[in-house]
Chain A
């Protein structure tokens, strides 16, 4: 168990390709950090630099106060779970679990005890003699986690461990990972591109884009106060609606339509963020006119995809709400998010 300190870390590949630049994250002991972002955002590269599988071009990574930049993965006291599990195909489950301990010269009796304990925790006892190819996807995933657990490392590193599983199993395993991490209290870094996984697992989220940090924060904090349009559109499902609007004397208008909403912002263009679930169908006849293009029924929710003027907007409504002929949308003004039209950064309006 240890704190991990990532300071100004960058990775430049041959040919001056910048995969990751100037990343600093201070991870507390026992914290569950999720790195999330679209593919190619550098999240896996960052994780592999912490693991020692990728050299670090700039900055330092320290685990438990020790700078590990030049230290081999095996000596960093970390354990990694890979996306395709990377189990040794010719070894039994027992040997897969024991291999890392054997290489460290752990006494036989202790190996037995630790493997037995991990197998009990992950309900793998009946499969210890089997080869990985005789296991199902979920069981293989468990063996991969077991291989990390037996070592009792200072930190777990997960590299999209659930993306090879089917949707249902993914939800189950997600819960198991979360429970296991809480029980063991081991510092963990988890990489995923799935925002739902990120929201549910993380103590703190790190949203990455183009090799840079967009935002660090607790899941709900990121959800309620996204730092940029990128975070706003990435976290939350359906994605937050981003509508171009203009402010004149504190009045917000979308296109030619005055919304009747006010915000303490200077005159000019602004991007307004509207969560689909914050939008309401207006019954007074006031509000933004909305044309429905198509409807998705999810059971618990009904998603209306459509347009306000030229701009596409998604609205989430209760499935039993009757849809009027002509729809107008309203929203509480404290539910609005504002982003600068040029940089996409969040703007906090002055209180009106």
Chain B
């Protein structure tokens, strides 16, 4: 596959550049929009060069909030999103690594059935089961709470499956050596399996954090109290104003800020992330 023909090289680069442009352009537009005054958009023509209001827009968004849209200050929403995303990703990892451990290392009746039941839930994403889930959460009195935001999203077949696949590649002799060395089931899990899964956990954390951060439909449904709004649904609320032009510059500034935490997570965990997906350390 590695051929050194200038035309192919050029072509490959063009395709890649085109891809980057398609992905990056909306982000660029959002950023440009956040540096202009609200009035600049009334003409209906988007400016393509940065304006002069970068600092004032971001100052308004971060310190004053956007009072007119009925949304809480952005700091609170970012905090809510962070709590939800962390709870979802850490909860998913904790539950799925334990269930994968049980499925792979313990012989109990209906083990395969248990695995398949977990696996089948892959076919039921949040959107499909949203009405019954809402009913359950409402009956348990978890509306407008962090628990209500995160717990229903924690059960995860994908993560369980990934950990199961990883555990199956760990040689049996390792377990046997640990047994001879006097390590019980919990010790084996804590001292050997968990450290070996480190890179897998990191990779999953990145994926799940972004998944949790980007939740839109579920927070929209379970929160009516603005103290529990998350940033992603907050953006939607801001652009939803009656009898007035939405303040696009502020909305876009919030969107840019909402993008930052996942980007930071990816950047700082990139090394582990790639390692976890590519290599298995044995």
CB–CB A74/B173 < 8 A: no
Task: Kindly identify which residue among B176, B191, B196 contacts A86, using a CB–CB cutoff of 8 Å.
Answer: B176
Q: Which of A51, A85, A87, A89 has the most CB of B within 10 A?
A: A89
Closest to A83 in B: B173
B129 at the A/B interface (Cβ < 8 Å)? no
* Majority DSSP secondary structure for residues of B touching A: helix
CA A100 to CA B173, docked complex, whole Å: 15
B174 at the A/B interface (Cβ < 8 Å)? yes
- How many residues of chain B get a CB closer than 8 Å to chain A's CBs? 19
A162 at the A/B interface (Cβ < 8 Å)? no
Residues 172-188 of chain B, each 1 if its beta carbon lies under 8 Å from chain A, else 0: 01101111111100010
How far apart are B9's CB and chain A's nearest CB, in angstroms? Answer: 36
A73: chain B residues within 8 A (beta carbon): 176, 179-180
A88: chain B residues within 8 A (beta carbon): 174, 177-178, 191-192
How far apart are B88's CB and chain A's nearest CB, in angstroms? Answer: 27
A283 at the A/B interface (Cβ < 8 Å)? no
- Contact A104 to B182, CB < 8 A, known contacts A89-B196, A90-B195, A90-B196: yes
| B131-176 with Cβ < 8 A to chain A | 171, 173-174, 176
How far apart are B52's CB and chain A's nearest CB, in angstroms? Answer: 54
B282 at the A/B interface (Cβ < 8 Å)? yes
A72 at the A/B interface (Cβ < 8 Å)? yes
CA A89 to CA B173, docked complex, whole Å: 12
CB–CB A100/B171 < 8 A: no
Closest to A88 in B: B192
B281 at the A/B interface (Cβ < 8 Å)? yes
CB–CB A82/B173 < 8 A: yes
CA A326 to CA B178, docked complex, whole Å: 63
Closest to A89 in B: B282
- Contact A74 to B196, CB < 8 A, known contacts A82-B177, A86-B173, A99-B191: no
Q: How many A residues are at the interface, by size bracket? A: 20 to 34
| A204-253 with Cβ < 8 A to chain B | none
CB–CB A86/B187 < 8 A: no
- Contact A80 to B183, CB < 8 A, known contacts A86-B171, A89-B281: no
CA A287 to CA B245, docked complex, whole Å: 115
CB–CB A80/B180 < 8 A: yes
Closest to A82 in B: B173
CB–CB B179/A100 < 8 A: no
Task: Kindly identify which residue among B176, B183, B195 contacts A103, using a CB–CB cutoff of 8 Å.
Answer: B183
CA A52 to CA B176, docked complex, whole Å: 10
B179: chain A residues within 8 A (beta carbon): 52-53, 72-74
Residues 271-282 of chain B, each 1 if its beta carbon lies under 8 Å from chain A, else 0: 000000000011
CB–CB A103/B171 < 8 A: no
How far apart are B282's CB and chain A's nearest CB, in angstroms? Answer: 6
- Contact A84 to B180, CB < 8 A, known contacts A90-B195, A90-B196, A103-B187: no
CA A80 to CA B183, docked complex, whole Å: 14
CA A73 to CA B183, docked complex, whole Å: 10
CA A232 to CA B178, docked complex, whole Å: 39
B281: chain A residues within 8 A (beta carbon): 89-90
CB–CB A79/B180 < 8 A: yes
A78 at the A/B interface (Cβ < 8 Å)? yes
CB–CB B174/A86 < 8 A: yes
CA A191 to CA B198, docked complex, whole Å: 35
CA A100 to CA B180, docked complex, whole Å: 8
| B4-57 with Cβ < 8 A to chain A | none
Q: Which of B173, B177, B182, B195 has the most CB of A within 10 A?
A: B177
CB–CB B181/A100 < 8 A: yes
User: Interface residues, chain A, CB within 8 Å of chain B?
Assistant: 51-53, 72-74, 78-80, 82-90, 99-100, 103-104, 147
Known: A82-B177, A99-B191. 20 other contacts (CB 8 A): A51-B176, A51-B180, A73-B179, A74-B183, A82-B176, A84-B171, A85-B173, A86-B171, A86-B173, A87-B177, A88-B174, A88-B178, A89-B196, A89-B281, A90-B196, A90-B281, A99-B181, A100-B180, A103-B182, A147-B181
Closest A-B pairs by Cβ, 7 of them: A74-B182, A86-B173, A100-B181, A103-B182, A86-B177, A90-B195, A82-B173
User: Interface residues, chain B, CB within 8 Å of chain A?
Assistant: 171, 173-174, 176-183, 187, 191-192, 195-196, 198, 281-282
14 A-B pairs within 8 Å (CB atoms) are namely A73-B179, A74-B181, A74-B183, A78-B180, A80-B177, A80-B180, A85-B173, A86-B174, A88-B174, A88-B191, A88-B192, A90-B192, A90-B198, A99-B183
